[in-house]
Amino acid sequence: MFLCKNIRRTQSKPEKSRFNIRGISFLNNQNQSFPKLLSPAGDFERLVAAIRFGADEVYLGGSQFGMRAVSAKFDFPMLKKAVDYAHEHGVRVYLTCNTVPTNEEADQLPEFLKNARDAGVDAFIIADMGVFAAAREYAPEVEVHMSTQTGIVNYRTANELYRMGAKRVVLARELSIDDIRTIREKTPSDLEIEVFVHGAMCMSFSGRCLLSHYLVDRDANRGECAQPCRWGYHLVEEKRPGQYFPIFEDEKGSYILNAKDLCLIEYIDQLAQAGVTSLKIEGRAKSSYYVSVITNAYRIALDQYQRDPEHFQLEPWLLDEVCKVSHRRYNTGFLLGRPEDGQYYENGGYLRNFDVVAIVDRTDGEFAYCTQRNKFLAGDTVEVLEPGKKPFEMVISQIFDEENQLVDSACHAMMKFKIPYQGVLQTGTIIRKNKAES
């Protein structure tokens, strides 16, 4: 399975630099703090998972104006609940307002922004300049983070957005590490820089695409992308209707637009040294399991880097860990320059090797009390993933149902059961099973 190439480059230590924006002089001292970890939260369950497994920040979508309509799960009462929960755990919450609104939707912006402000969100993620202006007018207390949809690829754009009131810029995904470093060197030190490090890549620049709207009338720029870039395509010659010819030499056709997923867990040291403020995981439409596993892996990697920045070398098991979620084949995107292998032509599907079979609710020193998520049997070998820790294998020796009756399997959805376990496991610990061993 192809993972991120283990290509390391020696980096010189960052230096202080002085620069000027509109007559204001800035002294930029890079790398004053370690990057934060920003995780997606498609609903409240995934919000809890992100926080439980180590996110410093979460981003989510309200009922309008978000680029993932399928995960627009937070109406205002739920948004208030989510913000309160996150703040109780010291985690910041960013609300996506990064669609391109129509005239009719623009009329609804003032009320939406004020309600979000009242719910306590820490920042709006914005792409449209009209939305930016509305946010500064109707909710000036809330930070503005400029979305990757803005297409920020140079320091002049970043500086102008800063001058207009942006607190953070989410850089375009098409930038190299050298590009990122230059933007950091030539922008104010209090302008935060956010970079995507993991998840799906788009075949269009900064996600600006009309393909879905054109083919199936689902506007990708308003959160409704049907992902036609993942479909298989053939050629049809006009005088031979019904005869389909593959564009690529494969009997299944060609997936010429299908980008591999991004994985930069090996390069968090270079991103930190380049002055990145926040490392962002893509995936508000992904499962709670995905959010848990990927957040956990990057949290451990970041903590490892923070303990010894000068000698950071990723623990090999973390590379295995990011492959234990549903994903497309990985690469490093544009971080190391133009990707030589950024597309995957064989199919548009996912690699799925593990299933979650249960979530641990509590332990008492003799048993682990759990909730079933997928069927498994007594005698199965499983992996146990506890927040902040390396997973370990365990054999399920026995399964007891809620009536304390010994059963052969946990086969009912959301079934409550217990298994022998001497020790303590945190609430939310994941029990998973390799599908190859089923």
- Amino acid in position 416: K
Q: What is the pLDDT of residue 68?
A: 57
**Complete DSSP assignment for 59-104:** EEEBSSS-S-GGG--B-HHHHHHHHHHHHHTT-EEEEEE-S---HH
Q: Report how far residue 227's alpha carbon sits from residue 3's, in angstroms, rounded to the nearest whole number.
A: 23
Q: Report how far residue 255's alpha carbon sits from residue 346's, in angstroms, rounded to the nearest whole number.
A: 7
- For strands 92-97 and 57-61, give the pairing: parallel
Q: Report how far residue 113's alpha carbon sits from residue 256's, in angstroms, rounded to the nearest whole number.
A: 40
Residue 308: pLDDT band by 50, 70, 90 thresholds?
Answer: very high
115's tokens: 């309600």
Count CB atoms within 10 A of the CB of residue 2: 12
Homologous superfamily, domain 17-203+259-331: Aldolase class I (3.20.20.70)
Secondary structure class of 117 (helix, strand, coil)? helix
* Contact in structure between 165 and 136 (CB atoms under 8 Å): yes
pLDDT digits (tens, 9 = 90+) for 44-78: 999 999 999 999 999 999 887 765 555 567 899 99
153's tokens: 């690829």
Q: Report how far residue 323's alpha carbon sits from residue 320's, in angstroms, rounded to the nearest whole number.
A: 5
* Contact in structure between 120 and 91 (CB atoms under 8 Å): no
Average pLDDT, the chain: 85
Q: Name the packing angle between helices 288-307 and 44-52 (round to 10°).
A: 20
Instruction: Return the closest-CA partner of residue 8 out of 270, 306, 198, 196.
Output: 270
Q: Report how far residue 232's alpha carbon sits from residue 223's, in angstroms, rounded to the nearest whole number.
A: 22
Instruction: Return the closest-CA partner of residue 179 out of 275, 261, 93, 89.
Output: 275
* Contact in structure between 184 and 15 (CB atoms under 8 Å): no
CA angle 199-201-205, nearest 5°? Answer: 145
Q: Which residue has the higher pLDDT, 72 or 119?
A: 119
Third-level CATH fold of 354-437: Elongation Factor Tu (Ef-tu); domain 3 (2.40.30)
pLDDT digits (tens, 9 = 90+) for 205-259: 566 666 666 567 777 666 677 777 667 776 777 788 887 766 654 545 445 667 7
Residues carrying CATH 2.40.30.10, the chain: 354-437
Bridge partners, residue 385, by sequence: 430
* Contact in structure between 365 and 412 (CB atoms under 8 Å): no
Residue 351: pLDDT band by 50, 70, 90 thresholds?
Answer: confident
Q: What is the pLDDT of residue 220?
A: 67
Residues carrying CATH 3.20.20.70, the chain: 17-203+259-331
| Termini Cα distance of the chain | 20
pLDDT digits (tens, 9 = 90+) for 244-265: 766 654 545 445 667 788 999 9
* Contact in structure between 166 and 159 (CB atoms under 8 Å): no
H or E segment at 388?
A: none
Question: Is the pLDDT assigned to residue 92 strictly greater than 90?
Answer: yes
